[in-house]
A and B are shown apart, each in its own frame.
Chain A
Amino acid sequence: DQQVKQNSPSLSVQEGRISILNCDYTNSMFDYFLWYKKYPAEGPTFLISISSIKDKNEDGRFTVFLNKSAKHLSLHIVPSQPGDSAVYFCAATNAGKSTFGDGTTLTVKP
Chain B
Amino acid sequence: DAGITQSPRYKITETGRQVTLMCHQTWSHSYMFWYRQDLGHGLRLIYYSAAADITDKGEVPDGYVVSRSKTENFPLTLESATRSQTSVYFCASRGWEHPNEKLFFGSGTQLSVL
Mark A residues whose CB is within 8 Å of B.
Answer: 4, 6, 9, 31-32, 34, 36, 41-46, 49, 51, 89, 93, 95-103
Contact = CB atoms under 8 A, between A and B. Distances in A.
Contacts, number: 56
Contact of B100 (A44, A51, A103): A51
Given A96-B31, A96-B99, A43 B40 contact: no
A100 B43 contact: yes
Nearest to B100: A32
B90 interface: yes
Nearest to B106: A43
Interface of B: 31, 33, 35, 40-45, 48, 58-59, 90, 92, 99-100, 102-108
Given A44-B43, A102-B41, A97 B58 contact: yes
Contacts of A45: 105
Contacts of B44: 100
A93 B102 CA distance: 10
Contact of B107 (A31, A36, A43, A97): A43
A96 B100 contact: yes
23 contacts: A32-B100, A34-B102, A36-B103, A42-B107, A43-B90, A43-B106, A44-B43, A44-B103, A45-B105, A46-B102, A46-B103, A51-B100, A93-B99, A93-B100, A96-B99, A99-B59, A100-B35, A100-B43, A101-B42, A102-B40, A102-B42, A103-B41, A103-B42
